[in-house]
Structure 1
Amino acid sequence: MNTLLATPGLSWLILAAVLAITELLVPGIFLVFVAAGAAVTGVVTLIIPGFALPFQVAVFVVAASAAVAIGRRWYINNPVPSADPLLNDRVARLIGEVVTVVEPIAAGKGKVRVGDGEWLASGPDAPVGTHVRIIGATGTWLNVEPVIA
């Protein structure tokens, strides 16, 4: 076992395997790209015996960075479809909802009740109790319009 760990190339390959297995056990943390960098470093270190540790680390940093960049580009070009694409975009989920004015919208500013909370709202003047539809958001303000019955 000591000779296995004394061989830097094999040590890097073992690290790559451990990182890849960790990615399988805890998916979504992108250790597979770091594992690819460790694997490349292991192969280079096996091909070039006596490769000094600082150079091994430099190869690892470059290879892992390249793997992350390639993986990121691939994920951007091939997005994973989602059953609920608006899951983490609360405002986008609210667009189209009809809500009630709880603080009069005067001079374009007021408050509306959304679920059990109140949100700042901007839109045409409306008295308390008026039903308005959410049409978008600007920062933390919901943009609303009157509901035409």
Structure 2
Amino acid sequence: MTTNWAWLIAGMVLIIAEFVVPGVYLIWFGIAALITAVVALTVDPGLPVELGLFAFSSVASVLVGRYFIARTLMISDDPLLNERTARLIGRKVIVTAPIVHGEGRVRVGDSEWIATGPDADVGDRVQIVGASGGRLMVEADEPE
């Protein structure tokens, strides 16, 4: 009988912990513990059955939760929000250290980045055409 209330308390603690430290997983185990608590309070099946029910409910609630989260993910208005280098593609920048043998530096805003591309002299304008890690791939800028 005491394990019945323990499931209820554990479920509530897990759900509250999800709000305190969000990670999108504790809530599903909390729901599984609450399901187990409801069954344990109504039927009192014994600890081995309760543990099995909790295990089954945990797997089921995680799978159902993942299904609904995947279906309801919002598409961002700015898909490149956290991809700083990808946001730079298309910008025209100035070479600050000559690009020799395919590598040099360019100024983007108030910072300098390592750039790879065709040879270019200091002061030349180049266009960012790609990014890989912290390196920008550039091409000679076409005059307008």
- Per the TM alignment, residue 50 of structure 1 is displaced from its structure 2 partner at its CA by 4.9
Matched residues in 2 for 1:131 and 1:39: separation?
63
CA distance 1:101–1:39, change in 2 (3 Å): same
- Per the TM alignment, residue 55 of structure 1 is displaced from its structure 2 partner at its CA by 5.5
- Kindly provide the amino acid, as one letter, of the partner of residue 81 in structure 2: L
Aligned positions of 1:79-118 closer than 5 A: 79-118=73-112
| 1:41 counterpart = 2:36 | yes
Q: Which residue of 2 aligns with 1:29?
A: 23
CA distance 1:47–1:136, change in 2 (3 Å): farther
Q: CA RMSD in A?
A: 2.7
CA distance 1:76–1:50, change in 2 (3 Å): closer
Q: Matched residue of 1:81: which SS?
A: coil
| 1:120 counterpart = 2:114 | yes
| 1:17 counterpart = 2:15 | no
CA distance 1:111–1:80, change in 2 (3 Å): same
Please, what TM-score do these two structures have when normalized by structure 1?
A: 0.73
Q: Matched residue of 1:95: which SS?
A: coil
- Per the TM alignment, residue 32 of structure 1 is displaced from its structure 2 partner at its CA by 2.5
Deviations 1:105-126 (A, max 9, x none): 1222211122232222111211
Structure 1 gaps, min length 5: 1-5
Please, what TM-score do these two structures have when normalized by structure 2?
A: 0.75
Structure 2 gaps, min length 5: none
- Kindly provide the amino acid, as one letter, of the partner of residue 97 in structure 1: R
Matched residues in 2 for 1:61 and 1:78: separation?
26
CA distance 1:87–1:7, change in 2 (3 Å): same
Percent of aligned pairs with the same residue?
43
Structure 1 stretch displaced more, 30-39 or 14-23: 14-23
Count of aligned residue pairs for this structure pair: 142
- Per the TM alignment, residue 39 of structure 1 is displaced from its structure 2 partner at its CA by 1.6
